[in-house]
Amino acid sequence: MSEVAVVEVPQWQGSSSPTATLLSEGAMMLGALIAEPEGVEITVPLGGTLAETARHVHEALSTAGERFVVTVGGDCGVELAPISAAARRHEGGNGLAVVWFDAHGDLNTPASSPSGAFHGMVLRTLLGEGPPDLVPELPLRPEQVILAGVRALDPAEQDYVDATGITHIAKPDPAALVEAIRRTGATAVYIHIDLDVLDPRTFTSVGVPEPDGFLPDELVDHVVALAERFDVVGLGITEYEPTRPEDHLLLASLLPPLVRQCRNSTPWQIEQRAALAWPATVVERHEGWLLRHTPGTTRKRSNSALPPFHVSTNLEQELHHIQNFYRERDLPLRIQVSPAEAHPQLDGLLAHRGYHLTGKTRVLIAGAADLVNRVAPVFPVVPIDHHARRADVFRSLDQHSDSRLIADKVIAHIPDPMAFLVVVHGDEAVGMVLLAAHTGWTGIFAMATHPDHRRNGVATTLLHAAAQWALAQPAPRLYLQVEEDNGPAYGLYTRSGFTPSHSYHYRVRP
């Protein structure tokens, strides 16, 4: 699983709270709660101004790479840089929604703010109206923003919400929140959590509490609903002023699993995209499970069950149904445990029951723009659009017993946009790659080089071409799968800029 990068910003200068200096200690304590042994923790130095601190945060974000970033404050102003960065990264902002879990709208301007404190203006600044040195180059649009749990809007903020049509979900309603994001067309979500979204009857360590907030379990339910359906591409947690030990105990139980849910969201969504990009002939959905079968083929992905984001308490009944599905087709019950890091309990249960492990695989991710700059093409690349020609090339380079069936039953049915790119040497195809794009991501499949032409630039040429194609869709985030025992391929991909996202393997019933 990709590591977590905790960006700790002890900024308090934007707060109107009389105890605002506690926010620095709160940032440190939040960072300690969330940081993981294998992760990265970055403490951002405070600048002399809010703009200087924002620049320091931008610099910290640039070192995080493909890690899942959690920004902890500090006041809500620490969200300027991470949300701006997320907007730039996702289709120029078009593919991003921002969910603002907060008791307040933070939608004032310098002219309308009763307090003059920037933490009450940060979202309006992200929307393009604020102190000139803090307004981002790519502002959010009102339709990208969903207010969740906001219950204390100043009159000028309410006027702005009414005029712009910003979606406002005041009471707990996960289904309404998911539907609101779907209406935006976004596939990626940034989640902002000001801890004053919580009801002060359960949590009081904030500077500006408001009654009738979310209960902790309600907040978790909303975040889980988002993580199950969208790529959560960033998380901010702010406004912790530690005053009560019991509040810290609550955060210690609440935040680490919440962060895990958010981090697991992108690997889960990658697996959903991969399932669409490698279609099966027979598909059945059962209680969130995806059951797949492609007659005549031997590929594990084509004949296995993919579990849901959360495995239910009715696992026994579900396994019985899945077993019958494959027994009727004279196949063994094979479960793709993916993402493996998100399903340790399922994997442990299957192992205890004697399901043997096979097909350990790593999933790697990269940015297409970065890949274009890191690898150089050596040979010309040509696309093949005619199915019969694709099938011939695939069979010659794939060299499996079911290659022709895979070409006819899988590749021929991959939904557009897709591409089949080939490196030709003389009259012979010496390398191939299959690409499938969906909601901002491009999957790289079936990459192969003729044995006589390895280690001479065919693979890097194909990667460069794949990245260019992905940028043109646009689907500029890349993923691919490589089996753990394929050391040379793993080395090639990591040298080219790919980093780990997650892993998966199969459990097969004896």
Q: Is 504 left (phi over 0), alpha (psi -120 to 50) or beta?
A: beta
Q: Does position 21 have pLDDT exceeding 70, yes or no?
A: yes
The residue type of 208 is V
pLDDT of amino acid 64 = 86
Q: Which residue has the tokens 């579990």?
A: 307
Q: Mean pLDDT throughout 232-239?
A: 97
Q: Is residue 271 part of a domain?
A: no
Q: Is 239 left (phi over 0), alpha (psi -120 to 50) or beta?
A: left
Same-domain check for residues 150 and 186: yes
pLDDT category at 66 given cuts 50, 70, 90 is confident
Q: Is residue 397 part of a domain?
A: yes
For residues 473-494, b (16+ Cβ closer than 10 Å) or e, as one string?
A: bebbbbbbbbeeeeeebbebbe
Domain boundary residue among 264, 289, 323?
Answer: 264
- Sheet containing 96-101: give its strands across: 40-43, 4-9, 68-73, 231-238, 188-194, 96-101, 145-148, 167-169
Q: Mean pLDDT throughout 91-108?
A: 90
pLDDT of amino acid 312 = 86
Q: Which domain CATH number covers 165?
A: 3.40.800.10
CA dist 497 and 492 (Å) reads: 9
Alpha helix stretches (DSSP H) within 238-374: 245-277, 315-327, 344-352, 368-374
CA dist 228 and 208 (Å) reads: 31
Domain boundary residue among 332, 355, 378?
Answer: 355
Average predicted confidence (pLDDT) for the chain: 95
Same-domain check for residues 35 and 181: yes
Q: Is residue 129 part of a domain?
A: yes
Q: Is residue 270 part of a domain?
A: no
Domain boundary residue among 196, 230, 264?
Answer: 264
Quick one: which H or E segment has residue 123? helix 122-126
Provide the domain limits for residue 184: 4-264
Same-domain check for residues 325 and 428: no
> How far, rounded to the nearest angstrom, does the alpha carbon of residue 106 sit from its chain's CA centroid?
26
Q: How many domains does the chain have?
A: 3
Rounded to 5°, the CA angle 379-380-384 comes to 130
Same-domain check for residues 380 and 396: yes
Q: Does position 93 have pLDDT exceeding 80, yes or no?
A: no
- Comparing CA positions, the residue from 233, 243, 260 lying closest to residue 35 is 260
Q: Which domain CATH number covers 384?
A: 3.40.630.30
How many CB atoms sit inside 10 A of residue 195's CB? 29
**Range name among 58-62, 93-97, 105-109, 346-350 with the lowest pLDDT average:** 93-97
How many CB atoms sit inside 10 A of residue 214's CB? 23
Q: Residues 400-435: pLDDT tens digits? A: 999 999 999 999 999 999 999 999 988 899 999 999
**Range name among 56-65, 106-115, 491-500 with the lowest pLDDT average:** 56-65
Does the pTM surpass 0.85? The reply is yes
Beta strand 145-148 with 167-169 is parallel
Q: Is 273 helix (H, G, I), strand (E, B) or coil?
A: helix
Q: Residues 259-306: pLDDT tens digits? A: 999 999 999 999 999 999 999 999 999 999 999 999 999 999 999 999
Same-domain check for residues 96 and 129: yes
- Comparing CA positions, the residue from 389, 398, 502, 388 lying closest to residue 446 is 398
Same-domain check for residues 235 and 322: no
Q: Does position 441 have pLDDT exceeding 90, yes or no?
A: yes
Alpha carbon distances (Å) from 360 to 58, 149, 508: 36, 42, 12
* CA distance between the termini of the chain: 28
The residue type of 311 is V
Same-domain check for residues 419 and 469: yes
